[in-house]
């Protein structure tokens, strides 16, 4: 039986900044519908890998393939339209824009709807199918009750969910979630874990979770890839990688 090709394939990824090597010869795959954790201590190179996949950084060497296509120099917005979504370590929302409008704008940008410019000028209204999709995502992420609230009035945990909803409203095949639990308390982290689990189970969305919170990683991922000093040092189930001596030294700070 032929093994299906991976959804995402990273091979020999290398990236330097000046004389400092941030990522060195990193290779891994993510299958369709799979949830993979990319973990490691601060400075391990995780976010750099994520940025090279999404196109915000250009690697010095190596390749990124998505759905069998070599992404090469493909622009970030084109990668998004191919089916890659991303959230960021730093929350980036528009303070005066409501939660619902964040999703509507993201949906039209991803689908290259020319009516976006009419929206910005206040000259068009959302279609019924757009509103239905937005309402569906608001329900999945648990934001229906604050749909008409401006982002400026929301707490950090809720803004994190707004970013997540904005990333998934156009139904990406792969979500790059870059430290989504940063700044969240334990309750908010558990809520986030539940949402990510729901997305994978009900939507078939693959997730590459870049994270330092071991609870979130353990709760969400099918397997984990551990980086340290720019290199992959372990790969396997969460339990397997956490039992590796090299991981305990690098990630947990114990012999």
How is the chain split into domains, by residue range?
Answer: 1-83+172-255, 91-171
- DSSP H/E element including 204: none
Across 75-92, average pLDDT? 89
**What is the residue-wise DSSP string for 90-116?**
S----TTSBHHHHHHHHHHHHTT-THH
pLDDT at 114: 47
As a whole number of angstroms, the distance between CA 216 and CA 192 comes to 8
User: Over the stretch 145-196, which tens digit does the pLDDT of each residue have?
Assistant: 999 999 999 998 899 899 999 999 988 999 999 988 888 888 888 888 888 8
pLDDT at 65: 97
- The answer on pLDDT for 122 being more than 50 is no
| C-alpha distances in Å from residue 246, one per residue of 126, 209, 235, 240 | 53, 21, 11, 12
User: Over the stretch 61-80, which tens digit does the pLDDT of each residue have?
Assistant: 999 999 999 999 999 989 99
Under the banding of pLDDT at 50, 70 and 90, the label for residue 253 is low
pTM of the model: 0.88
Across 199-205, average pLDDT? 82
CATH number of 1-83+172-255: 3.40.50.300
Map residue 56 onto helix, strand or coil.
Answer: coil
Rounded to a whole number of angstroms, the distance between the first and last alpha carbons of the chain is 43
Across 121-138, average pLDDT? 79
Average pLDDT, rounded, for the chain: 88
């Amino acid at each position: 039986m032929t093994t299906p090709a991976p959804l995402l394939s990273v091979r020999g990824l290398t990236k330097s900044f000046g004389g400092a090597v941030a990522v060195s010869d990193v290779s891994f795959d993510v299958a369709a519908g799979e949830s993979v954790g990319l973990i490691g201590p601060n400075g391990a190179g995780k976010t750099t890998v994520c940025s090279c996949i999404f196109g915000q950084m250009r690697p010095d060497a190596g390749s990124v393939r998505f759905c069998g296509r070599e992404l090469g120099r493909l622009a970030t917005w084109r990668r998004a339209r191919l089916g890659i979504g991303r959230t960021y370590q730093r929350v980036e929302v528009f303070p005066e824009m409501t939660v619902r409008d964040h999703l509507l704008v993201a949906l039209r940008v991803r689908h290259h709807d020319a009516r976006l410019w009419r929206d910005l000028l206040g000259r068009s209204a959302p279609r019924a199918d757009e509103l239905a999709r937005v309402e569906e995502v608001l329900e999945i992420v648990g934001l229906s009750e604050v749909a008409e609230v401006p982002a400026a009035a929301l707490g950090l945990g809720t803004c994190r969910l707004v970013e997540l909803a904005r990333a998934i409203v156009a139904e990406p095949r792969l979500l790059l979630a870059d430290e989504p639990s940063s700044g969240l308390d334990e309750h908010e982290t558990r809520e986030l874990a539940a949402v990510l689990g729901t997305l994978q189970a009900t939507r078939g969305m693959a997730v590459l979770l870049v994270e330092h919170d071991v609870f979130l990683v353990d709760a969400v991922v099918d397997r984990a890839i551990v980086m340290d000093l720019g290199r992959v040092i372990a790969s396997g189930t969460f339990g397997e990688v956490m039992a590796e001596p090299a991981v305990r030294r690098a990630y947990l700070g114990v012999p």
